[in-house]
C-alpha cells in the first residue's frame, strides 16, 4: 500500500514538474521560465550539440486586414525568437535574435509588416548563421524573401534586405542544407501555384540562379524538407489561409527534382485536416537512426499568438512515410510511438 502511495506521489510530481518529459502535441508548451513558447512557423538548427528553435514571435492583437476578402489576419510580429535545448523537451528563451525595426515604418521588419516562417542554417565556409524568412505586408502583396546574418546562433542577426528570388514572388518557405554543404531555398511562388527549389550561392546570402519549378498549378505551401537514405522528402499543405487542410508528401532523388507527389502521410481521425496543424519543419533527431519529428503549427487565426505546436514522430515503411496522432509521446521511445496506437 505504502509503495503505491509513493508511486502516485512520484507520478503527480512528475506531471506537475515536467519531469515526465512527454511531448504533448497541440497543448500549451512552456519554456524554462514558465512562459508559453512563442516561435511560430519555425524551424530548428542543430549546432554543436544544441538545438536552436527559431520562429515568429507574435505579439499584440490579431486583426483581419482591411479591404481583404479572404482570411487575411495578421498580428504584430515583434521579431524572430530563438529557444535553445539539449533534450528537445526543455527550451530556454534566448530572446529576439532578429528584432523588429520599430523606428522606420518603411522597413521590411517594421511590426506592422509580416515576418513568417524564419529558418536558419550554418555556413561552414563563412562561419555565419544565415536566416531566410518570408517578408510581406498586411495584404500579402509584397511576397518577398528576406535574409539576415549573425556570427552566433543566438544573434543578434543583422537584417540585410529582401528580394523576389528569380524574379517571382515568394511566400511560405523553408531552407535545406545538404550533406555536401549546398543549401536550398524552397518557396511557394507564382501566386502560390508553384513550389520553387532554388540553390543558394556559396555564402547562402543570395540565389545562384539554378532553380526548378515543381507541382505547377497544384498550390502547395508550408514546405518542410528532409533527407533519409539518399532520398529527399517534402511535406506540404494545401492553400487555405490559416485553416487546416490535407497534407501531402513527395519524394525525389535530387532536391531540385523531379518530385513525385505520393499521398497524405497522416492517418486516423482528423488526418484529412493534418490533425488541425500545418507543416513547418521536419527535425532529424541528432544521432538517432530514423528519428524524424514532424513539426506542425496549430494556428489560432483569431489570436495568432495563441497558436500551438504539434510535434509527431514520422514512421517509415520502405520509402513511404506515415504520421499518426499521439496524445503524448516520449522521444526516447520513438519505436513504440511509431506503432500507431495512442
Ligand atoms: C498560410 C501560410 O502557411 C501561413 O504561413 C500564413 O501565411 C497564412 N497562409 C496567411 O493566411
**What percent of the chain shows pLDDT beyond 90?**
84
Q: Which residues pair with 135 in a beta bridge?
A: 115, 144
pLDDT for 72 beyond 70? yes
User: Ligand 1: which residue has its CA nearest to atom 1?
Assistant: 241
Predicted confidence band of residue 18 (pLDDT cuts 50, 70, 90): very low
CB 274 within 8 A of CB 244: yes
CB 274 within 8 A of CB 245: yes
Cα-to-centroid distance, 230 and ligand 1 (Å): 30
* Nine cell digits for residue 83: 529557444
Tell whether omega for the bond before 258 is within 30 degrees of 0, i.e. cis: yes
User: Ligand 1: which residue has its CA nearest to atom 9?
Assistant: 241
User: Ligand 1: which residue has its CA nearest to atom 3?
Assistant: 222
pLDDT for 69 beyond 80? no
CB 208 within 8 A of CB 200: yes
**What percent of the chain shows pLDDT beyond 70?**
91
Cα-to-centroid distance, 45 and ligand 1 (Å): 22
Residues 96-109 pLDDT 10s: 999 999 999 999 99
The response to whether residue 242 sits with its C-beta less than 6 Å from ligand 1 reads: yes
The mean pLDDT value of the chain amounts to: 92
pLDDT at 74: 87
Helix or strand or coil: residue 22?
coil
For the segment 64-71, the average pLDDT, to the nearest whole number, is 83
Euclidean distance between CA atoms 225 and 281, whole angstroms: 7
pLDDT at 341: 44
> In a mutational test of the pocket of ligand 1, which residue from 55, 143, 144, 242 has the highest number of ligand atoms less than 8 Å from its CB?
242
Task: Return the CATH superfamily for domain 21-339.
Answer: Glycosyl hydrolase domain; family 43 (2.115.10.20)
pTM for this predicted structure:
0.93
Q: Strand 50-64 relative to strand 40-47: parallel, antiparallel, unpaired?
A: antiparallel
Q: What is the DSSP string of 171-193?
A: -SEEEEE-TTS-EEEEEEETTTT
Closest-lying ligand 1 atom to the alpha carbon of residue 72: 11
Q: Radius of gyration of the chain from Cα atoms?
A: 20
Residues 36-46 pLDDT 10s: 999 999 999 99
Predicted confidence band of residue 331 (pLDDT cuts 50, 70, 90): confident
Euclidean distance between CA atoms 33 and 39, whole angstroms: 15
pLDDT at 320: 94
Residues 269-282 pLDDT 10s: 999 999 999 999 99
pLDDT at 8: 58
Distances (CA, A) of 230 to 97, 210, 254, 265, 318: 33, 21, 9, 19, 13
Amino acid at each position: 500500500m505504502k509503495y503505491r502511495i509513493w508511486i502516485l506521489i512520484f507520478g503527480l510530481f512528475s506531471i506537475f514538474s515536467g519531469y515526465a518529459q512527454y511531448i504533448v502535441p497541440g497543448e500549451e508548451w512552456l519554456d524554462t521560465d514558465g512562459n508559453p513558447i512563442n516561435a511560430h512557423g519555425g524551424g530548428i538548427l542543430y549546432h554543436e550539440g544544441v538545438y536552436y528553435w527559431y520562429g515568429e514571435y507574435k505579439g499584440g492583437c490579431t486583426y483581419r486586414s482591411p479591404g481583404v476578402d479572404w482570411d487575411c489576419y495578421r498580428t504584430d510580429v515583434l521579431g524572430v525568437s530563438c529557444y535553445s535545448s539539449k533534450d528537445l523537451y526543455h527550451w530556454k528563451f534566448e530572446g529576439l535574435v532578429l528584432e523588429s525595426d520599430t523606428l522606420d515604418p518603411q522597413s521590411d521588419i517594421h511590426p506592422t509588416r509580416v515576418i513568417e516562417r524564419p529558418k536558419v542554417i550554418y555556413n561552414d565556409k563563412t562561419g555565419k548563421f544565415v536566416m531566410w524568412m518570408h517578408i510581406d505586408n498586411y495584404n500579402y502583396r509584397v511576397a518577398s524573401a528576406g535574409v539576415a546574418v549573425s556570427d552566433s546562433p543566438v544573434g543578434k542577426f543583422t537584417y540585410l534586405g529582401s528580394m523576389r528570388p528569380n524574379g517571382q514572388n515568394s511566400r511560405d518557405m523553408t531552407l535545406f542544407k545538404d550533406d555536401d554543404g549546398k543549401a536550398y531555398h524552397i518557396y511557394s511562388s507564382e501566386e502560390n501555384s508553384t513550389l520553387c527549389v532554388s540553390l543558394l550561392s556559396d555564402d547562402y546570402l543570395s540565389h545562384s540562379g539554378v532553380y526548378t519549378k515543381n507541382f505547377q498549378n497544384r498550390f502547395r505551401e508550408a514546405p518542410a524538407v528532409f533527407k533519409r537514405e539518399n532520398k529527399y522528402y517534402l511535406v506540404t499543405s494545401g492553400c487555405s489561409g490559416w485553416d487546416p487542410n490535407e497534407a501531402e508528401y513527395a519524394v525525389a532523388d535530387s532536391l531540385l527534382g523531379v518530385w513525385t507527389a505520393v499521398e497524405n502521410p497522416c492517418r486516423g481521425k482528423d488526418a484529412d485536416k493534418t490533425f488541425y496543424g500545418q507543416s513547418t519543419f521536419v527535425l532529424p533527431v541528432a544521432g538517432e537512426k530514423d528519428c524524424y519529428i514532424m513539426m506542425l503549427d496549430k494556428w489560432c487565426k483569431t489570436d495568432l499568438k495563441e497558436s500551438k505546436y504539434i510535434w509527431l514522430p514520422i514512421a517509415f515503411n520502405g520509402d513511404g512515410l506515415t504520421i499518426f496522432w499521439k496524445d503524448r509521446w516520449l522521444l526516447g521511445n520513438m519505436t513504440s510511438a511509431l506503432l500507431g496506437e495512442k
